[in-house]
Structure 1
């Protein structure tokens, strides 16, 4: 490590590092060989755009710095250039340049990624160039095998099984850079075959001349195309006559992901070998959407070609791992700020292992990363082999059938007995499907059930065919990209990975361009909206929620206060009945307002029964009138609010149609990715944009007269932009991946989420979830049908079988089974919107109040009965223990105790006889003189049972 020259130099470097921390700039250093045309023209542009894609995903400002490596470039020189570098990515191919990068990594300890593509690769026994010394003590130095090398290595396993008996002629274009042509090595290793390499002719005249030379002059009839799909199709079209005569044996080995279609090619007999996306992630699609959204394709002229997707996905993975690594570094060392890597202060370098960030994603778009040896990784690229076969005399029979699948871990896996078997001789068919109940559902054991499965069983029984069903990898119906390539279910069908597509696949003109449809097996199905029900939660005591608890407490306080005030006025007013009984002795109703009567009066005044007789005094009547007015207002307000409160849920649903969704921005809405609904909205937005461009061109056309232009010049936009705004808002909200994700967003979105999809899937969601509802009417109605590979010979037979099932009402039986009798159907409580009445769930608390009152009355009745018997027992006991000569006046009844002011107080009651001594008895006899003649009458009264 080179030490600083002086303290001043140290200070300047520290100041520079501090400035870097302030601006939070993180540098990714991209090194390449000076003069490498392939690197500058075909690799660096992809890294530039991917850097633009990821730079906003890190807290720091991400900078991509490019450094050309000259023959005399040293690691010490590079140290001065990378003071603030965080990661080094090397695309250098020269051994000296690679060694320089290794020395730089050893000096700076910066995580370094070296892309390897300089020699043929194989799974076992691969060794790098002997001139390069791999580091042993640099855990963050990683070598990545370019995926094109992995793809090219499949030649070693595939071509020996092709039964090639003649020498090969390889026709190539520039799909692979001339300096990146290790595929030659693999072809040269095919045993017993000589290989000749020629440039592929591109124009019709040159193609015909090349065909004539190969077939007639050189007698070369086994051809391998290493070219793009477009160029291969052009060549095959011109060779129709020779293919029909069986004079050509053709193989296409291309990294172009566009499948062979060529509607004009009447005769084809060719093996098609190409990489195939795992479809587990859609990185390239998202990346391409970013390019179009930011107009990078128009401003910078950058686009992703179909034969570049394998490479672009690889560069995308590297930048993705680098950005996540830098983000994690910043989060880990956020307390002190991220210390940039440098060559001067190694102890200050903050680092984390880089490999976990590369391996975090279990599956990348073109396979997962596998460690071949310490520090050396490669991507397990899937490769598929198709057999394309057509004959001129059979224009309705076109085959593109997948024959085998290859990966580095599984090797070549044949689907049939031989790789060279003719597709028309194979009577076993592959059916791709997508899980969407009740049409298709998957059981825990992996088997499929549903409406379409039962229908396919009936069709197979009629046609006597065998088949296997597999689920599409990405779980989508498929969308088409800018290059015309499909993914999802449609992609499997177009490429030839499947013979039929089974599921709720709607018939659209866009899909009909690339696949064939049978007759519809299901009625017209439109698009509609799924939202969460806005019904409030049910509550037995919902009638109590009409008023808030503070209001209830205030009403209770007013009731107690008024009752107590009435009792006070009754007690102290000289005109009350209690204080002036002689004045009101002739009145029919005589009511004494004790505290108990006051409480009862105020309570009954709030009911239709009324409170009964009012107080006699004016002050009490004024209090009663005030209470009546208060009660009238309270009852009227409660009644009105109760009705509104129980019906307000019917008015809460503000979205009733698609137009209502378009007019608001609070509730998010979107269809699922790859669905027909997504295609509908995207296409409608494109149509509006196209109409706008036509209007703009017409209104700005200077060749028109001023009067004609004036007719087109309006203040308001003449074409609706409804779908343009909706599609923009949908992309901002984010499209859910699956219907399950959409339902979860409907349930959990804070401000609400509306899912827009096929009416059948929305109907099934409402069938299995009580809290979901369908909004609005259906629009954009389309039928469901089975899709087959273009030109498949069984298309008409399947259509006839479907018509037979429809005429015999078998499909109607299946519909009843999977809709009306579906085992997943849930029974939901009746909604308040289903009728005009109030459900028992909201008013049942009233009955609980009645039941509680009756139970309380029963308890009080039992208590009264017990209390009455207890008093009778005490009276009889007192009589039994009272001496016959006692002068006590036993006519004093216990009922008079506490019964009024004229009753005997507790102080005047005699004590128990057991506690009366002789002196007390003498005093009581002196104070309570009883006439002798009345003693017998008193005894008779005590002996009478009716006397209580």
Structure 2
């Protein structure tokens, strides 16, 4: 399968097996941007899903017939139609029904919720009754235009509208004019001037002719126009000014000191970040350079729509391919293919929410994207530069209509003393209340701080809410913020209260109060090394297989010693006469062999070795084996007990940068992400500067030689780190980061604000902060640029600092935090081995003592049973000399007579069978032989 790209590779008539046919009318240059969006998004999803689905482009000529189209769809699986004229729309519908091929038809007509088209249009759309895979989709820009019908009537407009527009809407797509024409007031359309001199000339012509101006233009053109109209605004030459723009860039214009207008624009749901991921793909693959393709802020809403349409198409094709193993080809008039049974319409609503609204079904197979719209009131007075207002007044969607935040859209923001305060959840500064469903939503350091500030200032009411994406916010390629920063910059929030770092990039678009918290840097969070304590850790030095082998060698060696002692003619067992004069006479019974082998492994030694040479060879071999085993065990035991405390693979940011085993990354939208991204960009800029200087041909050879060095003079540390972070993947939230730290197989290091990491360490015994902090910045409260509360809030914070009330908050939410964990203290084994690891040897001694006591008990009772005492034996009251009994071998008569003679200093006991005057029975030998005992002889 191959992919046909309509720009890179022209159609050759040979189609891929799975292709998407994009049909457009001849000479319709207005759809070229749509074609580009579809083409690049196809490349994106091909790379994302690893699924081969190409794009074919088919131009519908004026004389194109159904047969001509049918001949082109042999290997096409889905058709996307950009036809705009009535006859071409009907043609593509008939082809879809005839070939039973799924088709998405984009419609660019005026739209309204009750019916798909306005009653005053001559264009109609007939949906097939017997084919459900023909769907129609309305772009969000067309839905956004309908908001005029609901919003403008609430402005009490009675004068003529002067509409100043640029090329934000293509000339061919002018359906937005129909919405303005339906308001019931005269409308005059003019091209907005963009050159300063022409703007001034246009203002002079409008001064006495236009009272109500509506801008339908890009944000930059509106700001440029208002900058030149400062005197007209101050003189109130215009009664009402509106900006109705699909450009998602908010109004900033720091030089516009005077402004009084309503700003109406689409607003991202901020729940998903499709366009940012899309732009990263474009920049990473240098598509913006190779194909001159970028997504401007005025195109973002439509680009997200075509992006999602291509996403739904890919998901549909993959599902069909996996369900039916292969996608059958289509042809007009043939029997319907099996894969047409999957409803295409269901795949358009699989995602619960998109970046700009939700795809909803209208009548039959009509779909529209319910894009959210926000209305802001902008009020600036040149005489009071520190009192700028950008207030969110209302929201609008198709389903809800206009939802007011205050009394009316025309209410002046200067009269409103209720402020919207945005925040993000980051314990312990902001965290959800345990019983938030039945009480306050949030609690924490910042929540208490905001309450103290409100009490200090007085007459300040505020509404606290969490931003949709739960991030602090980052800036995209068009200079637009998301997250907490985006809420403040756009005007959706007046104040942002959170552990927000003061950064130069943020200070360009918002105002910060004086810091309310100490300098906080960036740190590293890693999983705490698991120190394994075991009383029998000394047994784990060798694997159980080795212990089994040692036990087997012990038993086999003991058996060999016993066998050799029994069969060798030179052993003591078989040659007692030869060794009768030896001092040590040891007979190696099986018990003695087992004892010999065991004691040979100890410093006590095995005792007397076997007499036979074969037994001694076995003993010597066992000694050598034991020496090697004991030496190896001793060496490994020391290393095994200390290796855990010597391992410190990561101790700083440099250690992370030098290795590639442990993954690391900051959280999306955090200050840490901005730090590493910007550092990488700076290194890249330095590299290009150095390269341009080195290759500058205008320099003299001597000057160039001073720049020619063997190595790149600036480090690329952060460039490599940022590349590795992108490959590792940035966690979406703190919970995701902690989960990766705890569960990653090869390890994961999270880089974030030190307070985040300190709190994670505070509430978990398995986490630890690694290294020292870097890039330290203070925390402060952010307000809209020029907001009148800035000085009051700063003064309140200084007062609270002087009263040490913020120190009390820190004590409350850190040291007295109810979620604080009491973790066991890790044993420091730097000075010796802990009892947890070596205590098993004491258990071995105890087990030996218990076993010996049990054995002694058994011996005692066994002996009592085996050797009963005679009842006739009496015991003398007087002690008698102890008689040592020796069993002697048989002797001759002469020797017997010789021994009968008494020796000096000896007492002779003779055998006497009579009981009269018999001595103590215990002194009588048990056999008929004589024995002698040396006793003291009294002269």
Which residue does the alignment assign to 1:842? 837
Hey, what's the Cα distance between the residues in 2 that align with 1:739 and 1:628? 60
Aligned partner of 1:746 among 734, 741, 760: 741
Deviates more, 1:285-294 or 1:195-204: 195-204
Given that 2:194 and 2:221 are in contact with CA atoms closer than 8 Å, whether structure 1 keeps it comes out as yes
After TM superposition, give the deviation of residue 258 of structure 1 in Å. 0.5
Q: Cα deviations across residues 87-131 of structure 1 (Å, max 9, x unaligned)?
A: 111121211111111101101111111112223323567579664
Distance 1:583 1:56, change over 3 A: closer
Deviates more, 1:205-214 or 1:312-321: 205-214
Hey, what's the Cα distance between the residues in 2 that align with 1:450 and 1:534? 31
Which residue does the alignment assign to 1:457? 451
Q: Cα deviations across residues 436-475 of structure 1 (Å, max 9, x unaligned)?
A: 2222222454421222222222222212322222112112
Hey, what's the Cα distance between the residues in 1 that align with 2:353 and 2:917? 112
Distance 1:850 1:368, change over 3 A: farther
Distance 1:827 1:35, change over 3 A: same
Given that 2:566 and 2:573 are in contact with CA atoms closer than 8 Å, whether structure 1 keeps it comes out as yes
Which residue does the alignment assign to 2:882? none
Distance 1:417 1:437, change over 3 A: same
Distance 1:800 1:58, change over 3 A: closer
Indicate the SS of the match to 2:668.
Answer: coil
Q: Cα deviations across residues 723-751 of structure 1 (Å, max 9, x unaligned)?
A: 22222222222222122222222233333
Given that 2:111 and 2:143 are in contact with CA atoms closer than 8 Å, whether structure 1 keeps it comes out as no
Hey, what's the Cα distance between the residues in 1 that align with 2:505 and 2:625? 71
Q: Does 1:225 align with 2:215?
A: yes
Where does 1:396-415 land on structure 2 (aligned, <5 Å)? 396-415=386-405
Indicate the SS of the match to 2:71.
Answer: helix
Given that 1:24 and 1:60 are in contact with CA atoms closer than 8 Å, whether structure 2 keeps it comes out as no
Q: Does 1:211 align with 2:200?
A: no
Aligned partner of 2:753 among 742, 755, 758: 758
Q: Does 1:607 align with 2:597?
A: no
Q: Does 1:137 align with 2:130?
A: yes
Q: Cα deviations across residues 266-288 of structure 1 (Å, max 9, x unaligned)?
A: 11111111100111111111111
Hey, what's the Cα distance between the residues in 2 that align with 1:123 and 1:478? 38
Which residue does the alignment assign to 2:328? 339
- Structure with more of its chain in helix, by fraction: 1
Where does 1:239-254 land on structure 2 (aligned, <5 Å)? 239-248=229-238, 249-254=240-245
Which residue does the alignment assign to 2:339? 350
Q: Does 1:158 align with 2:148?
A: no
Where does 1:274-289 land on structure 2 (aligned, <5 Å)? 274-289=265-280
Given that 1:117 and 1:180 are in contact with CA atoms closer than 8 Å, whether structure 2 keeps it comes out as yes
Q: Does 1:201 align with 2:193?
A: yes
Aligned partner of 1:725 among 720, 724, 728: 720
Indicate the SS of the match to 1:346.
Answer: coil
Where does 1:460-479 land on structure 2 (aligned, <5 Å)? 460-464=454-458, 465-479=460-474
Indicate the SS of the match to 1:81.
Answer: coil
Q: Does 1:808 align with 2:803?
A: yes
Q: Which runs of 5+ in 2 are unaligned?
A: 1-11, 873-884, 890-910, 925-939
Distance 1:134 1:749, change over 3 A: same
Q: Does 1:39 align with 2:34?
A: no
Indicate the SS of the match to 2:299.
Answer: helix
Where does 1:364-379 land on structure 2 (aligned, <5 Å)? 364-379=354-369
Deviates more, 1:401-410 or 1:751-760: 751-760
Aligned partner of 1:292 among 271, 274, 283: 283
Q: Cα deviations across residues 409-455 of structure 1 (Å, max 9, x unaligned)?
A: 22211111222222222222111111222222224544212222222
After TM superposition, give the deviation of residue 485 of structure 1 in Å. 0.6
Which residue does the alignment assign to 1:911? none
Given that 2:537 and 2:838 are in contact with CA atoms closer than 8 Å, whether structure 1 keeps it comes out as yes
Q: Cα deviations across residues 619-653 of structure 1 (Å, max 9, x unaligned)?
A: 76665555444433322221210111122223444
Which residue does the alignment assign to 2:708? 713
Supply the RMSD in Å over aligned alpha carbons.
3.3
Distance 1:567 1:370, change over 3 A: same
After TM superposition, give the deviation of residue 684 of structure 1 in Å. 1.2
Q: Given the two structures, how large is their TM-score scaled by the length of structure 2?
A: 0.86
Given that 2:15 and 2:76 are in contact with CA atoms closer than 8 Å, whether structure 1 keeps it comes out as no
Hey, what's the Cα distance between the residues in 1 that align with 2:162 and 2:15? 58
Aligned partner of 1:734 among 729, 737, 741: 729
Which residue does the alignment assign to 2:669? 674
Which residue does the alignment assign to 2:875? none
After TM superposition, give the deviation of residue 375 of structure 1 in Å. 0.4
Indicate the SS of the match to 1:818.
Answer: helix
Hey, what's the Cα distance between the residues in 1 that align with 2:579 and 2:842? 42
Hey, what's the Cα distance between the residues in 1 that align with 2:17 and 2:846? 74
Hey, what's the Cα distance between the residues in 2 that align with 1:245 and 1:23? 65
Which residue does the alignment assign to 1:524? 519
Given that 2:16 and 2:54 are in contact with CA atoms closer than 8 Å, whether structure 1 keeps it comes out as no
Q: Does 1:634 align with 2:629?
A: yes
Hey, what's the Cα distance between the residues in 2 that align with 1:127 and 1:221? 29
Aligned partner of 1:185 among 154, 178, 181: 178
Indicate the SS of the match to 1:645.
Answer: helix
Given that 2:265 and 2:375 are in contact with CA atoms closer than 8 Å, whether structure 1 keeps it comes out as yes
Q: Which runs of 5+ in 1 are unaligned?
A: 1-19, 881-895, 903-930
Q: Does 1:383 align with 2:373?
A: yes
Given that 1:768 and 1:824 are in contact with CA atoms closer than 8 Å, whether structure 2 keeps it comes out as yes
Given that 2:422 and 2:487 are in contact with CA atoms closer than 8 Å, whether structure 1 keeps it comes out as yes
Distance 1:62 1:621, change over 3 A: closer
After TM superposition, give the deviation of residue 297 of structure 1 in Å. 1.6
Hey, what's the Cα distance between the residues in 2 that align with 1:934 and 1:227? 143
Distance 1:797 1:59, change over 3 A: closer
Distance 1:606 1:358, change over 3 A: same
Distance 1:573 1:827, change over 3 A: farther
Which residue does the alignment assign to 2:420? 430
Distance 1:800 1:867, change over 3 A: farther
How many residue pairs match? The answer is 869
Q: Given the two structures, how large is their TM-score scaled by the length of structure 1?
A: 0.85
Distance 1:414 1:867, change over 3 A: farther
Hey, what's the Cα distance between the residues in 1 that align with 2:358 and 2:114? 15
Hey, what's the Cα distance between the residues in 1 that align with 2:410 and 2:802? 41
Q: Cα deviations across residues 772-827 of structure 1 (Å, max 9, x unaligned)?
A: 33232222121121111111111122222222222333222322332233322333
Distance 1:844 1:399, change over 3 A: farther
Distance 1:156 1:576, change over 3 A: same
After TM superposition, give the deviation of residue 609 of structure 1 in Å. 4.6
Indicate the SS of the match to 2:272.
Answer: coil
Distance 1:108 1:855, change over 3 A: farther
Given that 1:341 and 1:349 are in contact with CA atoms closer than 8 Å, whether structure 2 keeps it comes out as no
Distance 1:833 1:419, change over 3 A: farther
Distance 1:608 1:430, change over 3 A: farther
Distance 1:624 1:824, change over 3 A: same
Indicate the SS of the match to 2:242.
Answer: strand
After TM superposition, give the deviation of residue 613 of structure 1 in Å. 6.0
